[in-house]
């Protein structure tokens, strides 16, 4: 339909739900028109911003002017809300993690197929510039063939003091930040996963994990360490990437970083031994300046559609989803393997 504007209602108008309004506002062909939340002060906020509010979720689904429902509620109710909206003829955008289990996602995907509606998950950190920088490095072999990736987010502020601390709501850091980091990792390689080992942190004493460390090996030999921490007063680098011809690092959200690579233009120059503690070492000395090239890690702005630009294109049959449901399913399957590896304290052998 030419010049149609798709009307959106956000369900769950907390921090992330209201942020969707900011993402939608600049995109042609789509507009946030309404809000539904079970918390009254959020409804008051929405009304003050000029949005229509609804007395119930049923009212949202009964409104024929609503084209798209955005679900930004606690994780445990995503499945039921999504299936109800799809069956009511609405397209659906769901916040991550889309569901707590992979089986629940399959139910939603089936409902979307039967309703012939678009269902997309808001994996927004695919557009993060630090990730795009690493993806560009891997694809263009700027450090040679990448064989090891470390991806971390760390802070010392604990788990947010709301439903994210409760297991029944799908809380915990693996289902929060872990979803993002694992989604990014799986976009860096076409290889299948071979093994997973992991440990969950429970230092804060909540009923969910306050962080985790996962070691993942792919069938092509790539290894990865994915780590989330909420008790880290000193952070490790956001990204640390090793390739056959060099090493790259991004230190933090300011995107500061560098790439050190082998200088192919000169013959190898042996490093000079350094004093290391009470001994000398050449093995652990820095490579000679003549043998290496040190460069800043260049920024790579996104050249793809934004999430909501892509949603409009998908609804109109002009493009494929940038976030495909089979990719989201793979992330959930990996999360399940990490939970299993941590709980059994074993190596989980699983093709994912």
The domain segmentation of the chain, as residue ranges, is: 6-122, 126-256+297-303+334-349
Instruction: Give the end-to-end CA distance of the chain in Å, rounded to a whole number.
Output: 39
In this structure, CATH architecture of domain 126-256+297-303+334-349: 2-Layer Sandwich (3.30)
Going by C-alpha positions, the residue among 232, 77, 245, 218 that lies closest to residue 146 is 245
Helix 325-344 vs helix 177-186: crossing angle, to nearest 10: 120
Would you say 137 and 255 are in contact if contact means Cβ atoms under 8 Å apart?
A: no
Q: Note the pTM of the prediction, 2 decimals.
A: 0.94
DSSP state of 132: H
* Contact status, residue 233 vs residue 218, Cβ threshold 8 Å: no
b/e string for 78-95 if b means 16 or more Cβ within 10 A?
A: bbebbbbbbebebbbbbb
Q: Does domain 6-122 have CATH number 3.40.220.10?
A: no
67/70 Cα distance (integer angstroms): 10
Dihedral pair phi/psi, residue 17, rounded to 5°: -60, -45
- 127 vs 130: CA distance, rounded Å: 9
Q: What is the pLDDT along the chain (352 residues), one digit of tens a residue?
A: 467 999 999 999 998 999 999 999 999 999 999 999 999 999 999 999 999 999 999 999 999 999 999 999 999 999 999 999 999 999 999 999 999 999 999 999 999 999 999 999 999 999 999 999 999 999 999 999 999 999 999 999 999 878 888 888 889 999 999 999 999 999 999 999 999 999 999 999 999 999 999 999 999 999 999 999 999 999 999 999 999 999 999 999 999 999 999 988 887 778 888 888 999 888 888 887 888 999 999 898 878 899 999 999 999 999 999 999 999 999 999 999 999 999 999 999 999 9
How far apart are the C-alpha atoms of 199 and 340, rounded to whole Å?
10
Number of residues that this document lists for the chain: 352
Nearest Cα neighbor of 93 from 107, 80, 78, 104 is 78
High-pLDDT (> 70) share of the chain, %: 99
Q: pLDDT at position 268, please? A: 77
Q: What is the pLDDT of residue 2?
A: 61
The CA distances from residue 339 to 36, 103, 185, 328, 344, in Å, are 33, 15, 17, 17, 9
Element holding 332 (H helix, E strand):
helix 325-344
């Amino acid at each position: 339909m030419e010049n149609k504007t798709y009307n959106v209602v956000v369900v769950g108008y907390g921090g992330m739900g209201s942020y969707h309004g900011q993402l939608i506002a600049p995109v042609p062909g789509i507009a946030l028109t309404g809000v539904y939340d079970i918390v009254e002060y959020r409804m008051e906020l929405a009304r003050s911003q000029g949005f229509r509010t609804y007395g119930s979720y049923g009212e949202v689904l009964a409104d024929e002017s609503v084209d798209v429902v955005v679900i930004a509620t606690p994780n445990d109710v995503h499945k039921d809300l999504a299936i109800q909206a799809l069956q009511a003829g609405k397209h659906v955008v769901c916040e991550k993690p889309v569901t707590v289990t992979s089986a629940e996602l399959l139910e939603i995907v089936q409902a979307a197929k039967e309703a012939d509606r678009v269902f997309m998950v808001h994996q927004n950190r695919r557009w993060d510039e630090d990730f795009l920088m690493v993806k560009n490095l891997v694809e263009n072999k700027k450090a040679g063939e990448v064989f090891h990736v470390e991806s971390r987010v760390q802070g010392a502020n604990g788990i947010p003091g709301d439903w994210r601390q409760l297991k029944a709501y799908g809380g915990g850091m693996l289902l929060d930040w872990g979803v993002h980091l694992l989604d990014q990792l799986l976009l860096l390689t076409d290889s299948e996963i071979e093994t997973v080992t992991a440990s969950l942190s429970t230092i804060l004493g909540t009923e969910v994990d306050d962080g985790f460390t996962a070691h993942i090996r792919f069938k092509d030999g790539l290894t990865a360490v994915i780590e989330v921490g909420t008790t880290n007063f000193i952070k490790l680098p956001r990204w640390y990437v090793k390739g056959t011809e060099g090493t790259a690092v991004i230190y933090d959200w300011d995107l500061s970083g560098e790439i050190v690579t082998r200088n192919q233009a000169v013959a190898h120059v042996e490093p000079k031994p350094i004093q290391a503690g009470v001994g000398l070492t050449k093995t652990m000395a820095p490579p000679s300046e003549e043998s290496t090239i040190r460069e800043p890690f260049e920024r790579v702005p996104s050249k793809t559609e934004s999430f909501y630009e892509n949603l409009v294109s998908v609804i109109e049959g002009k493009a494929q989803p940038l976030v495909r449901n089979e990719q989201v399913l793979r992330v959930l399957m990996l999360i399940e393997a990490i939970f299993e590896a941590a709980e059994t304290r074993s190596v989980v052998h699983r093709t994912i």
